[in-house]
């Protein structure tokens, strides 16, 4: 399956997908990497692996809707079967979502702690277990149908950074697993229940 990955940050999840995709049996070809800003380390990773990149910045467009339409066009140019939001820190709009199946990874056990500060929020709340969630993206903030979740214990003395690192180790293998299964088998969706045959 042709996969476009959207990124904003360091791209360790992207790297895990690129590494997995070196095995043809995995069934994924990362055909492009898109970012919402220049200079994301994730873009360097793509370049290093000879993967085409594009940048689509909100401030370069007259409003969010125009940005979303431009992003949909840039993604569409690579004719993906699947789009993966791997640390992409923007809410996607109708133009992208109506044209593509998008998978997002989130560093908490949704529906707990949605949003951009999930790890710090979970720690501040005092939960003893958190984790990560792979889900299909809908128009809400981290609200789409859940594909997979893995629990991660909070340890005494955790900081947001140490906890996030522990979550990310688990998150990368969860994402690699889910994206591979979707790429190889597709999915059906009934009443928020996702089935991967
Ligand atoms: C991941 O934990 C993702 O869920 C969160 O940001 C992190 C991205 O990490 N939203 P990376 O850029 O893939 O290293």
Could you tell me if the ipTM is greater than 0.85?
yes
Q: What is the pTM of this model?
A: 0.97
Structural domains in the chain (count): 1
pLDDT in tens, 72-113: 999 999 999 999 999 999 999 999 999 999 999 999 999 999
In the prediction, which pLDDT does 76 show?
Answer: 98
pLDDT in tens, 4-60: 999 999 999 999 999 999 999 999 999 999 999 999 999 999 999 999 999 999 999
Ligand 1, residue 116: give the atom nearest the CA. 10
pLDDT in tens, 132-188: 999 999 999 999 999 999 999 999 999 999 999 999 999 999 999 999 999 999 999
Is 106 in the active site?
yes
Tokens of 195: 């089935």
Return the CATH number at 100: 3.40.50.170
Residues 53, 89: Cα–Cα separation, whole Å: 17
What's the domain range around 126?
2-195
The one catalytic residue in 38, 49, 61, 106 is 106
Q: Which protein residue has the closest C-alpha to ligand 1 atom 10? A: 87
Q: In the block, which residue shows the tokens 């109708």?
A: 94
Q: Beta partners for 132?
A: 150
Residues 37, 55: Cα–Cα separation, whole Å: 6
């Amino acid at each position: 399956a042709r996969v476009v990955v959207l990124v904003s940050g360091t791209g360790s999840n992207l790297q895990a997908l690129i590494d997995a995709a070196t095995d043809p049996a995995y069934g994924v070809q990362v055909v492009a990497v898109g970012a919402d800003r220049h200079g994301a380390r994730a873009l360097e990773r793509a370049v290093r692996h000879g993967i085409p990149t594009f940048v689509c910045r909100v401030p370069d467009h007259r409003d969010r809707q125009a940005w979303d339409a431009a992003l949909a066009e840039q993604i569409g140019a690579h004719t993906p079967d699947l789009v993966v939001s791997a640390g992409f820190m923007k809410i996607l709009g109708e133009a992208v979502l109506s044209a593509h199946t998008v998978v997002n990874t989130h560093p908490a056990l949704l529906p707990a702690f949605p949003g951009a500060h999930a790890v710090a929020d979970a720690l501040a709340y005092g939960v003893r277990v958190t984790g990560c969630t792979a889900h299909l993206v809908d128009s809400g903030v981290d609200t789409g149908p859940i594909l997979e979740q893995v629990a991660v214990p909070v340890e005494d003395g955790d900081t947001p950074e140490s906890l996030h690192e522990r979550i990310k180790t688990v998150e990368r293998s969860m994402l690699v697993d889910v994206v591979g299964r979707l790429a190889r088998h597709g999915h059906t969706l009934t009443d928020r229940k996702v089935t991967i045959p």
